[in-house]
Chains A and B, each alone.
Chain A
Amino acid sequence: MTAFASIAELAEGLRSRRMSAVELATETVDRLASVGPRYNAIASVMRSRALREAAAADRAIARGDARSALLGIPYGAKDLLAARGAKTTWGAAPYKDQVIKVDATAVAKLRRAGAVLAAKLAMVELAGGGGYRYPSASLQGPGLDPWNTGRWSGGSSSGSAAAVAAGLVPFALGSETSGSIGTPAAYCGITGLRPTYGLVSRHGAMALSWTLDKVGPMARSATDCAHVLAAISGPDVNDPTVSGKRFRPLTADAAREAVARVRVGYAGEEIERAGESARPSLRRGIEELRRVAPAFVEARLPEDLPIGAMVSTIIGAEAATIFADLIESDRLDLMPDEKQKAGLRAGMRITARDYLQAMRLRTVLAARMRELFRSCDVIVSAGRTATATPVEQRLDAATLPPGASAARDTAAAGPRPGNVGLIPAGNLAGLPAVFFPCGLGTDGLPVGLQLVGPPLSEPLLVALAEAYQRETDHHLRRPPAT
């Protein structure tokens, strides 16, 4: 059985000829087709392309090609990324027949590394632009959590997280504007890596917010995320925002030294005020991290900046510009979520003054974060402060049952306890983050932590998450029905 195998285990199986890449791809697309719909995780199964790429990988392996750890490894891509051989629907009915006849740069880089694209994976429509009220805001229906199909898999990279959590693929590509890798990773109990803005090309990815969008890996361990990030990072002439930097993991010795001396910034109020079901595992997770990296220091996000207003205004204005033709047409009515449509329309009313004020405040926030990272090397917080939301529940409900959470990644107005605004603040400042599981809630659903570091600190974040995952087994747990 290849389900739940790591990238290294699969690669070893291919190199040793215990299985061929074609056999692995066949098993994977069969599993995606038969099990994926259980979680509304699939946009398109790409059998033809997968078998073609797998056959090429088998030929390369036979030649002794050792170009990449990903040679012959199957994966899925969020349906926000263009890929030859399937429609690119952006999860939204107005684009349900859209065909983009190019590979997004991240997909093309994986192809060159020898990875095998097996499926396009479901997502919240338009990556949630406008702000949706119900998990059903997706062309494939609400993303369902493999740990409990009565709960939401999180958004907007819903299918990517569910497919990885259910063992359908060893890794997937997701994307984050503000929380769209972190939230589904936390809800589905997997590891997600949000890269520094500009480390991974956005070419061929649907734009929701040019200045916030990031493409990143979702997998079952930090090590597997690192394999993927190494392949997809780096220069791209098609995306002027790409820094040209490449991700390379630390050597084992360098990682050990870095983890031994890393200063972990922590506030803690957000853990103490987390949902009842998540709180015990979050506390244990923090203590486990403290055993791995003992140098904890107090660190808090700036409290005087309107982080929620900043991220909402920037996403709202950029999305309204990008989707202006849709918003001003009757096709918008094809989308089911009334709140999302209202939010997209309202974005047209954001003034240049307010957008630019939000962007100027972003400059202030980035400076404050640089200041914060003088006293610590990373910041730890809850991935989400509650376990996955019931699938029928309003995501903006005023009264939430214990353990449920609102889906919005924007910080609520008013005082923010501890570092609860770390997702929007990290995204506004373009900072990398790794999300990883730290146990199960009292309701049996996954709970996770996030680590955020300065720009281009992915090697340290990966080293720290790997060290945590060597000492714990939370990332190895599987949903009960799988």
Chain B
Amino acid sequence: MAEQTDDTRDVNDPARLADEARAQVEKHAAELRAANVPIETEPPTTYRP
């Protein structure tokens, strides 16, 4: 769902959408950093030399 904001720019204004997209990246980053991950946890990998 779209978030309610006080932004008065048109909803399809590219500058507004750019700001919202950047804010979304930051929001997701904050959620990821807040998650507790044991230090020994490695990402999955398909790298096989």
Contacts and interface: CB of A to CB of B under 8 A. Distances in A.
B25 A350 contact: yes
Interface string B11-49: 111100110111011011101111101100111101010
Interface string A300-326: 000011101110110010000000000
A56 B18 CA distance: 52
Contacts of A346: 18, 21-22, 24-25
A313 B29 contact: yes
Given A363-B43, A396-B1, 4 more contacts: A211-B46, A338-B14, A341-B17, A361-B37
B41 A397 contact: no
Contact of B41 (A339, A360, A396): A360
B44 A362 contact: yes
Contacts of B32: 306, 309-310, 313, 354, 357-358, 361
Interface string A332-352: 000000110111011101110
Nearest to A317: B25
Contact of A345 (B3, B21, B46, B48): B21
Size bracket, chain A contacts:
35 or more
B21 A361 contact: no
29 contacts: A211-B44, A240-B48, A241-B46, A306-B31, A306-B34, A306-B35, A310-B32, A313-B25, A313-B28, A338-B14, A338-B17, A339-B12, A339-B17, A342-B18, A342-B20, A343-B21, A346-B25, A350-B25, A354-B28, A354-B32, A360-B37, A360-B42, A363-B42, A363-B44, A364-B38, A364-B41, A396-B2, A398-B4, A413-B31
Interface of B: 1-4, 11-14, 17-18, 20-22, 24-25, 27-29, 31-35, 37-38, 41-44, 46, 48
Contacts of B31: 306, 308-309, 413
Given A363-B41, A363-B44, A357 B33 contact: yes
Contacts of B25: 313, 316, 346-347, 349-350
A394 B48 CA distance: 43
Contacts of A412: 1
Nearest to B20: A342
A230 interface: no
Interface of A: 131, 133, 211, 240-241, 304-306, 308-310, 312-313, 316, 338-339, 341-343, 345-347, 349-351, 354, 356-364, 366, 394, 396-398, 406, 412-413
A312 B24 contact: yes
A107 B26 CA distance: 40
B2 to A, nearest CB: 4
Closest 5 CB pairs of A and B: A359-B43, A346-B21, A309-B28, A342-B17, A306-B31
A382 to B, nearest CB: 17
Contacts of B14: 338, 341-342
Given A338-B14, A339-B17, A398 B2 contact: yes
A397 B4 CA distance: 10
